[in-house]
Chains A and B, each alone.
Chain A
Amino acid sequence: MVTFGKLFPQEKNISGFNLTASILLGLLVLYISYPLFGLAYIGGSINLAQSLTRPEIINAFLLSMATATISTLILSIFGIPFAYALARFHFKWKFLLRLVVIIPLVLPPLASGTMLLGAFGPYSFLGRTIPIDFTQTILGIIIAQTYVASPFIILPSQAAFEAVPEKYEIIARVLGKKQSTMFFKVSLPLAKTGIIVGLLMAWIRSIGELGATLMMAYNPHTISIQIFEDNAIGGIKNSVAGIVWVVILSIIALAVFLILRRSQYIRLA
């Protein structure tokens, strides 16, 4: 029986609305979870333990964890203050900045990767001027991940800062605190739930990033590229191990979120 929380009492008869909602909800859950059953089915037909511990899979997994973490850290240092500026500062061309932020979101990742290659590749201006290899290196992976994951930090953080009533910032300054102190002691703590959600989303997105990374740094292999290559070489059975590792990472990220929420460190409305 589907009920609507505390608002409506449990109805004795199933209403048409409840029934329709239940069916739609069920279909969506089935659609999202069915591939996991497919994965389990295929995984059952191979030596999963051996596949999971293949050196190239482990290396790709660890590399993805490391680069995603670095990318997320870089994005938090630049992205959170940028989000605050978008939320609080008023200036003429702000709408242009808002547009710029969503570019990596709307572009197909392969297109983003191609553009990044043009900007950082060996024949680009930077590639020819600066004696650093931006492509086919860990740096290339980080460039690709930060680019595609940037909206995932900026947009939720901006929304989180906008949701903090300005009166708290005003009173902090009236009480004698400089703007920087106000930001760290009031704005950031009050926006932390949205920011943490953004950080987790950016991290997960970085882990799962394929298209831009393919163009910028096919080698060394991230876990997504490893899955892609394993599938290309040996079909679905060959790529199951990589997928399982990514699913494990997603569960870790979800667990972190739930622990923070349970500890009341973050509160959802």
Chain B
Amino acid sequence: MTLEIVNLSFNFPSFELGPVSLNIDDGIMVILGPTGSGKTTLINLIAGILSPNKGKIVLNGIDITKIPIESRKVGFVFQDSTLFPHLNVHQNILFGLTRDELHNEERMIMVRKIIEDLGIANLLNRTIDSLSGGESQKVSLAQMLVTRPRIILLDEPLSHLDPPTREKLRLELRTILKKQRVPVIYVTHFEEDVLALADSISILNNGKLVGTGDIKQILNSSPSTTSFFTQVTSGANYISGLVVKSEEGLTSFKVGSHLLNTLGEFLVGTKIGVIVRREDIILSKEKIKTSARNTLFLQVAEIVQRSNLVDIHLKIDGLEIVSRITQSAMKDLGITKNDHIYAIFKASAPHLVREES
């Protein structure tokens, strides 16, 4: 399935979205942007909740711009729980099915599979007000998935959850969404969501599309896009690689020709994505023996001043990372562009955001 957004625009009295043009195939596009950038407006337009002033929305070659909400077969999960309080969990999940679908054995097998995959079979007779935040969002997902939508829209579905629940659900979400094989648009301002879920990213700022592509394309695009991306996120380093060894709670994964270490146990052959905060990367002009399990010898590609701090952009052989240090540390070390330097971080520094077998 392909979703095309063609010059879509919408005017509020004090805000204008667009024109926005995007193409999304069967993958997850994460739309990133600060509050008020138009992310929610954009997906409300796609869902049909709002009508655009100009432009069109084309799904598999068919213009759906003027088709009413209920006929678009869009799946939508909101930030706040939208489960119907007067129905129990099971009734909520089945709400979107027609009478014929409720009596279709094949369809009901699919429904039961979705309930099992999401681990909510034990919640079916519960009332909505008795659910936790994570349970509520899982039920919302089930409610949406059983209708077999042609497009899936998610508006910051994890933002109201506590960090451990958010982390757990985030890891499951990519697997669940990829199974649907339909275009998915995920709106967020959490960089972990971007890194965990995105096949591609689009960045919205003040109603305008600032950049679109995968993470590497975004970071290599115009300085304004890159700097905007790092302003919106905290600018952590995203590193992905293939697990080559995992024992005694320590996992080694290959990134290009480099071997990095992180805590945790994974199957050999798993592709993992981790983020390492810029502040967690220590620099040294000399090779020193430390307790840190990750030592890389890299070249300084760029030095970017940020008030009292400095971002040192390092790269070698397909690996690019950024270390953030103080001005005085930079002076003490005498770091200049093109220097070769050791970048060190502990095995506990990488934070897992993606795992694909």
Stretch from B66-74, B243-251, B343-351 that touches the partner: B66-74
Q: Which residue of B lies closest to A178 (CB)?
A: B70
Contact A190:B70 (CB < 8 A) given known A167-B78, A175-B96, A176-B147: no
Q: Is the CB of A167 within 8 A of B86?
A: no
Residues A41-85 near B (CB distance < 8 A): none
Q: Does A235 contact B (CB under 8 A)?
A: no
CB of B190 within 8 A of chain A? no
Contact A172 B74 (CB under 8 A): no
A170 interfacial by beta-carbon distance below 8 Å: yes
| Residues of chain B lying within 8 A (CB to CB) of residue A185 | 95
Q: Name the one of A168, A175, A177 contacting B143, with C-beta atoms under 8 angstroms.
A: A175
A to B contact number (C-beta, < 8 Å): 47
Which residue of the partner chain A has the closest CB to B76? Answer: A174
Q: Judge whether A236 is part of the interface by a CB distance below 8 angstroms.
A: no
Indicate if the CB atoms of A168 and B73 lie closer than 8 Å. no
Question: Does A126 count as interface, using CB distance less than 8 angstroms?
Answer: no
Q: Are B73 and A171 in contact (CB under 8 A)?
A: no
Cross-chain contact of A171 among B48, B78, B86, B98 (Cβ < 8 A): B78
B residues near A168, Cβ cutoff 8 Å: 82, 84
B82 lies within 8 A of A171 (CB): yes
How distant is A260 from chain B, measured CB to nearest CB, in Å? 15
For residue B302, CB closer than 8 A to chain A, the reply is no
Instruction: Tell me, in angstroms, the Cα distance from A171 to B128 when the chains sit together.
Output: 15
The CB with the most chain B CB atoms within 10 A, among A174, A178, A190, is that of: A174
CB <8 Å contact, A172 and B95: yes
The answer to the question of B322 belonging to the interface, with a C-beta cut-off of 8 Å to chain A, is no
Would you call A261 an interface residue if the criterion is a C-beta within 8 Å of the partner chain's C-beta atoms? no
Q: How distant is the Cα of A206 from the Cα of B96 in the complex, in angstroms?
A: 41
Q: Which residue of A lies closest to B69 (CB)?
A: A173
Contact B95 A175 (CB under 8 A): yes
Across-interface contacts of A174 in B (CB, < 8 A):
47-49, 69-70, 74-76
With A175-B143, A177-B70, A186-B84 already in contact, the answer to whether A170 and B95 are too (CB < 8 A) is no
Chain B contributes a number of interface residues (CB within 8 A of A) equal to 23
In the assembled complex, how far is the CB of residue A68 from the closest CB belonging to chain B, in whole angstroms?
A: 29
Check if B73 sits within 8 Å of A176, measured CB to CB: yes
Closest A residue to B81 by CB, please name it: A167
B55-75 residues at the A interface, CB under 8 angstroms: 68-71, 73-75
- Point out the residue from B71, B85, B147 that lies within 8 Å of A190, measured CB to CB: B85
Residue B199 at the chain A interface, CB threshold 8 Å: no
Interface class of chain B by DSSP: loop
**Distance A171 CA – B75 CA, assembled complex (angstroms):** 9
| Nearest B-chain residue to A179, judged by Cβ | B70
B16 within 8 A of partner (CB): no
CB-CB contacts of B134-160 with A at 8 A, as 1s and 0s?
000000000110010000000000000
Chain B residues positioned under 8 Å from A186 (CB to CB): 84
Cα distance, A43 to B75, chains bound together (Å)? 67
Known: A172-B95, A176-B96. A167 touches B70 (CB 8 A): no
Which of B47, B80, B144 interacts with A167 by CB under 8 Å?
B80
List of B residues within 8 angstroms of A177 by Cβ: 70, 95-96
List of A residues within 8 angstroms of B147 by Cβ? 175-176
By a CB distance below 8 angstroms, the chain A residues around B86 are 189-190
Docked Cα-Cα span, A186 to B48, in Å, equals 19
Which chain B positions have C-beta within 8 A of A178? 70
Which B residues, 17 to 39, have Cβ-Cβ distances below 8 Å to chain A?
Answer: none
| Contact residues in A for B73 (Cβ distance below 8 Å) | 176
A:127-157 near B, CB below 8 Å: none
- Give the residue name and chain of the B residue nearest to A185 (CB): B95
Whether B143 contacts A170 by the Cβ 8 Å rule is no
Contact residues in A for B98 (Cβ distance below 8 Å): 176
Most buried by B among A171, A172, A177, A189: A171
24 cross-chain CB contacts under 8 A: A168-B82, A168-B84, A170-B69, A170-B82, A171-B78, A172-B84, A173-B68, A173-B69, A173-B70, A174-B47, A174-B48, A174-B69, A174-B74, A175-B70, A175-B143, A175-B144, A175-B147, A176-B73, A176-B98, A177-B70, A177-B96, A185-B95, A186-B84, A190-B84
Knowing that A174-B49, A190-B86 touch, tell me 8 more A-B residue pairs with CB under 8 angstroms.
A171-B76, A172-B84, A173-B68, A173-B69, A174-B47, A175-B143, A176-B73, A190-B84
Report which A residues bind B (CB closer than 8 A).
Answer: 167-168, 170-179, 185-186, 189-190
Binding site for A on B (CB under 8 A): 47-49, 68-71, 73-76, 78, 80, 82, 84-86, 95-96, 98, 143-144, 147
Top 6 nearest A-B pairs by Cβ distance?
A: A175-B96, A171-B82, A173-B69, A174-B76, A173-B70, A189-B86
